[in-house]
Amino acid sequence: MSDIPAGLETLDFSFSGGRPAGAFAPVLAGVVGSGNLEILLEAAEGTDCVVHVETSARGFAPIWQAVVNDFNARHALAGVRVSINDMGATPAVVSLRLDQAVAGIHGGTA
C-alpha cells in the first residue's frame, strides 16, 4: 500500500531572469483526459515565469522539476503564468504541450 495520499498533488515552480513575453491572449494547449493534460499560458505582471501544476500522478515532484527546468532552459520566458492540469501525461507529452503553448503566444498553432 502506498503512503502517498489520494487526490491531486499541487506543485509550484518559479523562474526569473527570462525574456519578457509581452502582452498576449491566453493560450490553451491540450485536453485533460486519461493520460493527457492541458496547459494554459497567461501574461502576468512581473519578471518571473511561474508554473502551477495540479496532477493526479502523485509523488513525481522531481520529474516535474526536471521537466519545467528543461522548459525554462529552452524558452526562458518572463511575465508568464503557466497552469498545468495533468491526468498522468508522460514527460515527453508535457514538453510537447508546453512547446505548443509557447508557439501559440507568437501566433502559432497551440
Tally of CA atoms within 13 A in the half-sphere of 30 that contains its CB: 27
When the candidates are 1.20.1050, 1.10.540, 3.30.230, 3.30.200, the CATH number that belongs to 9-105 is 3.30.230
Q: Domain map of the chain by residue range? A: 9-105
- Give the 3-state secondary structure of residue 65: helix
Whole-prediction pTM:
0.89
How far is residue 100's CA from residue 34's CA, in Å, rounded to a whole number?
A: 19
- Tens place of pLDDT per residue across the chain (110 aa): 456 557 889 999 999 989 999 999 999 999 987 779 999 999 999 999 999 999 998 999 999 999 999 999 999 999 999 999 999 999 999 999 999 999 999 776 55
Grid cell listed for 101: 503553448
| Sign, CA torsion 69/83/98/58 | positive
